[in-house]
Amino acid sequence: MLRPSSAASLAGQQRCCRRYLASSTARDSQRRSLRRRNRQSTGKEFGGIRRSTNAKSLRKSSSKTPPPPPPPPTHSPSFFANPLAWYSAKLESHPFATKCITSGIISASGDLLCQCLVHRNHLAAQEDLNQEATGGPAEEKQAGEDEINEIEPRKFAPDWYRTGRFGVLGFFLVAPVVHLWYARLMRYFPGTNVGAVLKRTATDQLLFAPVFLPTFMINLMMLEGRPYNEALLKLQKDLPGAMVTNWCLWCPAMLVNFRFVPLKYQVLYSNMVGFVWNTYLSWKTQEGEGGAGDHDAVDETITAKEIVAEAHM
């Protein structure tokens, strides 16, 4: 038989076991009901799709970033529809080549304009001589007119080799050097405030222009096939006047360029101003040194003047 004390302790242990089993069963049922509610709420949030709320699966899903969306298709603007947008797109895709081609075209166009203006001046001079020949006695006037009418007005025939030389220098010399120079200026003197603009303009016109202008002129004359000594003498003669004209044109132009024009358009702006500048340079480098056609026109003008003078004697 068991003792009373041992029987009481055994009954107490049995009661403790029953309480523990009851409490563990209640906790298990609470956990199951909590999981069930969590699954139901998760399914509602994701459109009725049941997903696991396991922490490990959530970490895995969050670590996988979704792929970026594909870029929208880009359509290059048409030159005829929007020339500025087309040019801006070319500057973004091929900045160096675009600037070189633009500079070559504008440089050649400036030389063509110069040749056209010189030709018009020759025609105007010939018309003035014809008007002068209308004075004097009738017989002498008729003789002068007959001699002058033999000189027929020349049609405009541009010197394409000369124009090509300007285009080559614009493509291979002007655009690459100016492109790199403007980028360096913006790097050393950034910003568009008055101080930075004045520093860039002063550096450009006092350091860069006195070196680049004679470089352009001597290269142009060497491409014409002139001897080096002759080209050097003409450079010494023409450079002072060309330098003064350069400062009169480019100082205000560069102030506007560095203050208001974005960096990628600065070479284009310089080329637009350079259209006028190249016209002047074409006239300056060819002044008194024209081709065979120019010499013939000058000889004809001199002959016409002699005829008029003799008719009035």
Radius of gyration of the chain (CA): 44
What pLDDT does residue 61 have?
52
Mean pLDDT to the nearest integer, 24-35:
75
**Quick one: 35 and 127 in the same domain?**
no
Is 67 part of a structural domain of the chain? Answer: no
Binned at pLDDT 50, 70 and 90, residue 281 comes out as: confident
**Quick one: 116 and 257 in the same domain?**
yes
**Quick one: 39 and 99 in the same domain?**
no
**Quick one: 123 and 35 in the same domain?**
no
Q: Give dist(CA 99, CA 224) in Å, integer.
A: 25
Is 245 part of a structural domain of the chain? Answer: yes
Is 222 part of a structural domain of the chain? Answer: yes
Is 210 part of a structural domain of the chain? Answer: yes
**Quick one: 255 and 180 in the same domain?**
yes
Q: Give dist(CA 285, CA 230) in Å, integer.
A: 12
Closest CA to 311 of 126, 130, 127, 143: 143
Q: Give dist(CA 30, CA 34) in Å, integer.
A: 6
**Residue 175 reports pLDDT greater than 50:** yes
**Quick one: 152 and 35 in the same domain?**
no
**Quick one: 151 and 210 in the same domain?**
yes
**Quick one: 30 and 177 in the same domain?**
no
Q: Are 185 and 204 contacting, i.e. CB atoms less than 8 angstroms apart?
A: yes
**Quick one: 124 and 209 in the same domain?**
yes
DSSP string, the chain: ---HHHHHHHHHHHHHHHHHHHHHHHHHHHHHHHHHHHHHHHHHHTTT------HHHHHHHHHSPPPPPPPPPP-PPPTTT-HHHHHHHHHHHSHHHHHHHHHHHHHHHHHHHHHHHHHHHHHHHHHHHHHHTT-S-HHHHHHHHHHHHTSPPPP----HHHHHHHHHHIIIIIHHHHHHHHHHHHHHS-SSSHHHHHHHHHHIIIIIHHHHHHHHHHHHHHHTT--HHHHHHHHHHHHHHHHHHHHHHHHHHHHHHHHHS-HHHHHHHHHHHHHHHHHHHHHHHHTT---HHHHHHHHHHHHHHHHHHHHH-
Q: Domain span at residue 39? A: 14-44
Is 76 part of a structural domain of the chain? Answer: no
Packing angle of the helix pair 175-188, 95-132 (nearest 10 deg): 120
**Quick one: 168 and 19 in the same domain?**
no
Cβ burial 85-114 (10 Å sphere, 16+ → b, else e): eebbbbbeeeeeebbbbbbbebbbbbbbbb
- Predicted confidence (pLDDT) per residue in 222-279, tens digit: 998 999 999 999 999 999 999 999 999 999 999 999 999 988 888 889 888 989 998 8
Q: Are 147 and 210 contacting, i.e. CB atoms less than 8 angstroms apart?
A: no
**Quick one: 292 and 228 in the same domain?**
yes
* Top-ranked range on mean pLDDT: pick from 56-65, 103-112, 123-132, 263-272: 103-112
**Number of structural domains in the chain:** 2
- Predicted confidence (pLDDT) per residue in 176-217, tens digit: 999 999 999 989 999 889 999 999 999 999 999 999 999 999
The residue length of the chain stands at 313
Is 85 part of a structural domain of the chain? Answer: no
Is 121 part of a structural domain of the chain? Answer: yes
**Residue 115 reports pLDDT greater than 80:** yes
| pTM over the 0.75 mark | no
Quick one: 298 exposed, middle or buried, by C-beta within 10 A (0-12, 13-18, 19+)? middle
Is 204 part of a structural domain of the chain? Answer: yes
What pLDDT does residue 299 have?
43
**Quick one: 39 and 131 in the same domain?**
no
**Residue 148 reports pLDDT greater than 90:** no
Contacts of 96 by beta carbon, 8 Å cutoff, 6+ apart:
176, 179
